[in-house]
Structure 1
Amino acid sequence: MKKVAVLVVLALCSVAVQAKSADEWKSRVIYQLLTDRFALTDSSSSSSCSDLSNYCDGGYHGYWQRNITLINSHYGSPDDLKELVSQCHKRDIWVMLDVVGNHMGNQNNGDWNNFAKFYPFNHQEHYHPYCMITDFNNQNQVEVCRLANLPDLDQSNSYVRETLKTWIKNTVLTYGFDGIRIDTTPEVPKDFWSEYTQSAGVFSIGEVDNGNPSYNAGYQGPEDATLNYPMYYQLRAAFQEHQSMKNIHSGVTQNQNAFKDVSVLGNFLDNHDNPRFLSKNGDHTALKNALAYIIFAEGIPIIYYGTEQGYSGNGDPRNRESLWPNYNANSDLYKFTSQLAKFRAQQGSSLWESKQIQRYVNDYFFAFTRGNIFVATTNIGSSFSIPITYHPYTNGTVLMNLLDSSDKVTVNGGQFTVNMNGPPKIYAPSNSL
């Protein structure tokens, strides 16, 4: 969470109807954006946002809520939001709403027992007694104390509990949202999330910023899925920091052993709370390899706005840049990301209903298949060759690299050779393309 704007999450591909299930969301590539940094209004300046910690184009702090029954006027009106969702659905785009059930907005007055400015939770009994989270290994403290000094709602209070459940049900139905991202998931008891997500009636994915797969997996059940922070840290180590690619193998194995269903976890490289990938490693080729992994690996890919433009902001708020005036559909990273997303969609259920099977790993190379697709990634820029003997293809099969149609290899004698020179390679049988 941290001091974030309201997030609208858009997805690409498939049929757009409401009440989408976890299985249906597997077909999607999610594009995560901060609303007021994505596009200009007619009256906005064409210059980039001058203060990333404040409003850019009519809206910023969505998590510091004051009245949960109203639409922030900086964003527009209820009818504007309905129209936005409607227009997205007409374009075959699903809309996921970022929601918070843990806290209300910043009191900013030093009177920590004064809740008069909040609605409908304006009494002290609606909140836990004042304390700050100082030990994130103390689960009770995490659930009852304040994060970033934001007033912590008491979900054991029947009024708070039922009001939040009613709010999410009515909000989803009123505006037609297709899914929800749940902020600050570990800060609220699991039994509440079970009731909350049932009331929402759509796919739910929770933010659990913790690298321990077992800890994260405890929230799959109360919620449909979690953001794949365990794999996020492994991918950063491998692709960004050039540590052994065997980290990826370890992460995949640990997740498979911990989670009930890894196929709906949210795979990501960048978001609004963590430094962007390129902030610590400006190598676009390394980023391309990591993107190839998350788009084709088991799970739901999440692309944070600006990654496709090579943004490199280092932490909040520098990782919340305005997309204008830098939006460029012809940029190399934009075209690369779009190409992979489209190819993923073209594979249909043969891809997203297939398991991820590791085919080869060493310190600098990781390859896997899903369905007919063979994905080869590396974290070094030099050239090398790898013979692949463990694969699903028959002798004589010609594999073509999606990213370079002139790059073809033939399976012969039960094996084929992958020649790497920096970028990732996505192979598929040529007769299936």
Structure 2
Amino acid sequence: MLTIKIYLLCLFIIIISGKNASEWRSRSIYQILTDRFSPSNYTYNRCIENPLSENASRNYCGGTYQGAIDQLDYIEEMGFNAIWISPIPSNIDSETMYGVGFHGYWMNHIYQLNKYFGSENDLIEFINEAHKRDIWIMLDVVANHVGPNVSTNYFPFNKPEYFHQPLCFIQDYDNQTQDEFCSVGSVQLPLPDLNTENNFVITTLVSWIKGTVEKYNFDGIRIDTFRHIRQSFWINYTSEAGVYSVGEVATSNTSYVGSYQYFADGVLHYPLYFVLKLVFTDDNPTRQSMFTLEEQVQQNEIYFKDPTLCGTFLDNHDQDRFLNHTQNPIRIQNALVYLMFSDGIPIFYYGTEQNFTGNPYVTNGATDPWNRLPLWTSGYNRTTPVYKYISKLNQIRSYLKNQYDEQFFISHQKTIFVDENTYVYQKDEILVIISNEPFNNTKYINLTSNSCSKQWKCLISGEIITVNRFNLLQIKNWLPRILQPFSS
């Protein structure tokens, strides 16, 4: 009987310690590249040239787990309660024409930690310090490939049968066979594709994710190159991880991306990302209307198992810096409000709060490697407009969590009004109003069938808005609003 009680107690501890998908809905995630966030001991003397050379930007700059501990206050004061960090295994050291694996995606030895990020104790301490602040840690993981083929010393994948043979490169990303059996690299940068049909490879990867999550107490995983491994592989992998999982399927095809949510808790919402990039650009000729955004929302309901469990984002380490496409402060505010209060788990990429736009002096300077520059050149300024605004929005998310528990985050947004430049939707009893350009005439939103409230409080500005006797809500400018029913 004592043995049974001990077993049940251990099982209970495992259950309450693991962070499941439902618990993640109310979290907001701050994405960092470990090497680019903060070095140890406040030694901000590397990679500080402006502009940073391409060679320097493709090599290690010195960010570590200890450095991340030093800047946890910076993240906490922005209001984020989860951090997505880089993959932790050892990466190749040999330099390629694209530098080295400072980003963590060029695995060399799955059982060794990346020494440049710090020791095992440093990683454990970082996670523990984050947990003391109720900040969860999401680990980026790679099961699809290893580092550039400059060595055959991959461990434990040191036999030809552990890789898809012969080595080929994806020429057509609409060809699923190529996607799953060929390399995401190139002749210049071969990234050998792991044979995830091989029993040894399967067993190793599944055992590794289970052991790694348990050993270090990770709270969630982001899965790189999710579409490049057969879907059935992920069933056991995500199950053994035992925590919230979100997969990367980097394409705009909503039905295709949505199909992958049956093999992880969520997927990164790339279809929405591509729409937001067009809707909130400063470029008038290419800017899309709010009808485009509303249509995407309807597509989400058709093709996604549950959009509220997907990761939403405006940019990341693989895409253009969002602020390269807009510098209008009100347009930025509208985009951030949608990111933080639409269906999904918001992911905010480091540097946006410091107005990082990339390198304006080179072609394609908003993308890799210029979208991965060190944060310490900003001095971790906590007074920038976006830093303060995102802090405010995270405060509102916390308030909604306290007011409605999980109900706000579980509910799916419902369109109330949409025209060329304004979109109004309701989540639970909250109204969200966003626009992507100024307008001259007052807009009237009919609330007759959606709420009996005559007064609404804007959670951003604090203003009280009264609907008229026809139950019409007036919108006089393009500032974003988050409205809660108000009774005096």
TM-score by length of 1: 0.90
Question: 3-state DSSP class of the match of 1:180?
Answer: strand
Q: Give SS of 2:112's match.
A: coil
Higher mean Cα deviation, 57-66 or 330-339?
Answer: 57-66
Deviation at residue 262 of structure 1 after TM alignment: 1.0
**How many Å apart are 1:321 and its aligned residue?**
1.7
Give 1:29's aligned residue: 28
Unaligned 5+ runs, structure 1? 1-15, 109-113
Other-structure match for 2:452: 394
In structure 2, the residue matched to 1:147 is 184
Deviation, structure 1 residue 89? 0.6
Q: Which residue of the partner structure matches residue 227 of structure 2?
A: 186
* Higher alpha-carbon deviation: 171-180 or 222-231: 222-231
TM-superposed CA distance for 1:392, in Å, is 2.8
Letter of the 1:19 counterpart:
G
| Structure 1 position 430, deviation (Å) | 3.2
1:264 aligns with 2:299: no
Distance 1:289 1:382 in 2: 14
- 2:393 aligns with 340
- Are the aligned partners of 2:261 and 2:304 in contact in 1 as well (CA < 8 Å)? yes
- Equivalence for 1:121: 157
Match of 1:56 in 2: 61
Aligned-partner Cα distance in 1 for 2:260–2:468 = 43
CA contact (8 A) 1:242 1:380 kept: no
Give the match for residue 321 of structure 1.
373
Matched to 2:57, the amino acid is L
Note the alpha carbon deviations across 1:17-70, whole angstroms, 9 max, x for none: 631111111011111111121123216234654422211115723111100101
* Structure 2: stretches of 5+ with no match in the other structure: 1-14, 65-101, 359-365
Q: Which letter maps to 2:423?
A: F
Query: What do residues 164-188 of structure 1 show as CA deviations (whole Å, max 9, x unaligned)?
Result: 0000000000000000000000110
Structure 2 letter corresponding to 1:320: R
**How far does the alpha carbon of each residue in 1:316-357 deviate from its partner, in whole angstroms, 9 at most, with x for none?**
011112111312212111111111111012112231122201
Give the aligned residue type for 1:107.
N
- Residue pair 1:237, 1:247 contacting (<8 A) in 2 also: no
TM-score normalised to structure 2 length: 0.81
Question: Aligned in 2, Cα 1:423/1:312: closer, same or farther, shift over 3 Å?
Answer: farther
Q: Secondary structure at 2:347's aligned position in 1?
A: strand
TM-superposed deviation, 1:104: 0.6
Q: How does 1:92-171 map to 2 (within 5 A)?
A: 92-108=134-150, 115=152, 117-129=153-165, 130-148=167-185, 149-171=190-212
| SS of the residue 1:156 aligns to | coil
Partners of 2:468 and 2:343 in 1: how far apart?
Answer: 25
Question: 8 Å contact 2:47–2:57 — kept in the other structure?
Answer: no
Matched, 1:253 2:253: no
Higher percent of residues as helix: 2
Partner amino acid for 1:193? Answer: W
Aligned residue-pair number: 409
Is the 1:47–1:324 Cα contact (8 Å) retained in structure 2? no
Larger CA deviation: 407-416 vs 161-170: 407-416
In 2: Cα distance, 1:47 partner to 1:55 partner: 9
Which residue is 2:114 aligned to? 72
- Letter aligned with residue 136 of structure 2: W
Find 2:436's aligned residue among 366, 369, 379. 379
- Aligned residue for 2:374, secondary structure, equals coil
**Distance in 1 between the 2:414 and 2:371 partners?**
33
What's the RMSD between the two structures over aligned residues? 1.8
**Residues 46, 325 of structure 1: 8 Å contact kept:** no
CA distance in 1, matches of 2:260, 2:382: 37
